[in-house]
Amino acid sequence: MSALQTTPLYALHREYGARFAPFAGYDMPIQYRGGILAEHAHTRAKAGLFDVSHMGQAWLDGPSHAALAESLEVLCAADLKGLAPGRQRYAQWLNETGGIIDDLMLSRPESANGRLHIVVNAGRKAVDYAFLAARLPPGAKLTPRPERALLALQGPLAASVLARIAPGFEKLAFMAVKAAGGLEICRSGYTGEDGYEISLPAEDAEGFARRLLREPEVALIGLGARDTLRLEAGLCLYGHELSEEIDPVEAGLAWSIPKRRRAEGGFPGASRIQQALAEEPQRRLVGLKLDGRAPAREGAEIVSPEGAKIGIVTSGGFGPSVGAAIAMGFVEPAFAAPGAALALLVRGKPLPANIVPLPFYPHAYFRG
Amino acid sequence: MRFTRDHEFIDAGEDPATVGISEHAQSQLGDIVFVDLPEVGAKLKKGDAAAVVESVKAASDVFAPASGEVVAVNAKLAESPSLVNDDAQGAGWLFKLKLSAPAELDGLMDADAYAEYLKTLG
């Protein structure tokens, strides 16, 4: 086994009593002394600080924004031509059958023309970079930024904390980005709460994290609570809800494909995706709420009231803020209507569940 | 009280014996959100999967530390699974076992031997 990589905050995690586990080749903090439930509740009530420096940050550069957007729209179904300076977009790189190679965030800096900052999943970094290197036209360039750390500050008190530590950034609109003094901050995240993701030089990360942790509202939150928070927020996780076999329409991501792209096509797998949009996909991602506390995990079969297999759970566990066991999974469209009763097979026992709309826990994004 | 290498405890100081997971096990599992208990009346052989403890992150099997019949389960865990975190070797017990082969306990570790065993796990 090759040695695990660590993030620039490894020593800080140890100091705060982190329990570590390997994740995407990194030795990452799963939880600290308080435990996952307390960390989850803290993020929903105050401000949680997450180290997500394992994720892949890179620049994409082209001769102009229009030219760069043109060459990237060939690889994804998002609207990049219309991405204004200082704004961020969610997108997915697609393969020839419309399957998802990775999902990512793209940000257009306010200043530089012809440059985008991307953040991709840690476990897909190598795949993404090879995919881009092979497909970018001459004149466009990918530059990974391993010298950058990435922190997320998430929760209802994140804005008031940031106003003290990095004044000016806290006023960002949802999905807006701003750079100053080495910091590149966007207002978005992966918890369903208001909050920010903060890219900064690796050598500054520990000092910046310590300044945040001196604020009474801030606590370190591990990947364990990051997962329960994103599950309650109904957000997809690559390798679970998303894969090279699953297209964005099936995964409930049609909202990320705007009208112009639907009409024009011109992205990988366009025919499959356009058909899924016009008719009905083969399967749909749904939310499932179980009647009891027993969790159904990834891989559990979803069965109809008659006992026929109609789908599979892709993520599942106990939703601390929902107070019940919840899951996401794919089902045949005929069974995807909210309210539909079905069962999840756990250790051979059918546990009753209902289809519920996503998210399980309401989003609290900043809407100015 | 005796312990298995899989971190179950069994207290045969009274009849029936009490079974649960060790303090070390609960600490390793983290927040426990559900416990799937055996049926009262179930006849278990030593080593059978007897219960499942679900933490936020994962499900973990609990194996019968000895053979016998389940004569009671800890009903409080249905509403308060966190009792296992709060007091694993006390109020967070899982089930009571009427032993059919008490001599099996001789093969288990006492508290001192279990403490030594934990040191070897790093």
Residues of chain B in Cβ contact (below 8 Å) with chain A: 30-31, 33-34, 36, 52, 54, 56-59, 78, 81
> Tokens 């983290």 map to which residue?
B30
Rounded Cα gap, residues A157 and A205, in angstroms: 21
pLDDT at B4: 98
Report how many domains make up chain A.
2
Q: Sheet holding A177-180: strands in order across?
A: A177-180, A183-186, A195-201, A148-154, A47-51, A218-220
Q: Are residues A79 and A47 in the same domain?
A: yes
- Number of neighbours of residue A24 by Cβ within 10 angstroms: 17
Question: Which candidate in B24, B27, B28, B31 is best for mutational testing of the A interface (most A CBs within 10 A)?
Answer: B31
Q: pLDDT grade, residue A350 (50/70/90)?
A: very high
Q: Is the pLDDT of residue A1 over 70?
A: no
Structure tokens at A260: 């112009």
pLDDT at A137: 93
Give tens-digit pLDDT for A321-336.
Answer: 999 999 999 999 999 9
Report how many domains make up chain B.
1
What ipTM is given for this predicted complex? 0.90
Rounded Cα gap, residues A233 and A360, in angstroms: 6
A295 touching B (Cβ < 8 Å): yes
Determine the residue of chain A that is closest to B78 in CA distance: A293
- Domain with residue A336: its CATH number is 2.40.30.110
- Number of neighbours of residue A19 by Cβ within 10 angstroms: 17
A189 touching B (Cβ < 8 Å): no
Cβ distance A347 to B31 less than 8 Å, yes or no, reads: no
As a whole number, mean pLDDT of residues A81-98 equals 98
As a whole number, mean pLDDT of residues A225-238 equals 98
Beta bridge partners, A47, equal: A218
Give tens-digit pLDDT for B38-57.
Answer: 999 999 999 999 999 999 98
Rounded Cα gap, residues B41 and A146, in angstroms: 59
Exposed, middle or buried, A1 (CB in 10 Å: 0-12/13-18/19+)?
exposed
pLDDT, chain A, mean: 97
Q: Are residues A197 and A315 in the same domain?
A: no
Q: Domain limits at A364? A: 283-368
pLDDT at A236: 98
Pick from A280, A314, A344: which residue ends a domain? A280
Q: What is the pTM of this model?
A: 0.96
Q: Cβ distance A241 to A251 under 8 Å?
A: yes
Report the first-to-last Cα separation within chain A, whole angstroms: 48
- Domain with residue B43: its CATH number is 2.40.50.100
**In which element (H, E) is residue A48 found?**
strand A47-51
pLDDT at A112: 82
Share of chain B above pLDDT 90, in %: 98
3-state secondary structure of A231: helix
Where would I find the beta strands (DSSP E) of A32-84? 47-51, 56-61
Give tens-digit pLDDT for A155-208.
Answer: 999 999 999 999 999 999 999 999 999 999 999 999 999 999 999 999 999 999
As a whole number, mean pLDDT of residues A91-119 equals 97
Q: Cβ distance B64 to B46 under 8 Å?
A: yes
Which residue from B101, B107, B79 is spatially nearest to B8, judged by alpha carbons? B107
Q: Are residues A212 and A156 in the same domain?
A: yes
**In which element (H, E) is residue A71 found?**
helix A65-72
Write phi, then psi, for B30 (nearest 5 degrees). Answer: 80, -160
Q: Are residues A79 and A104 in the same domain?
A: yes
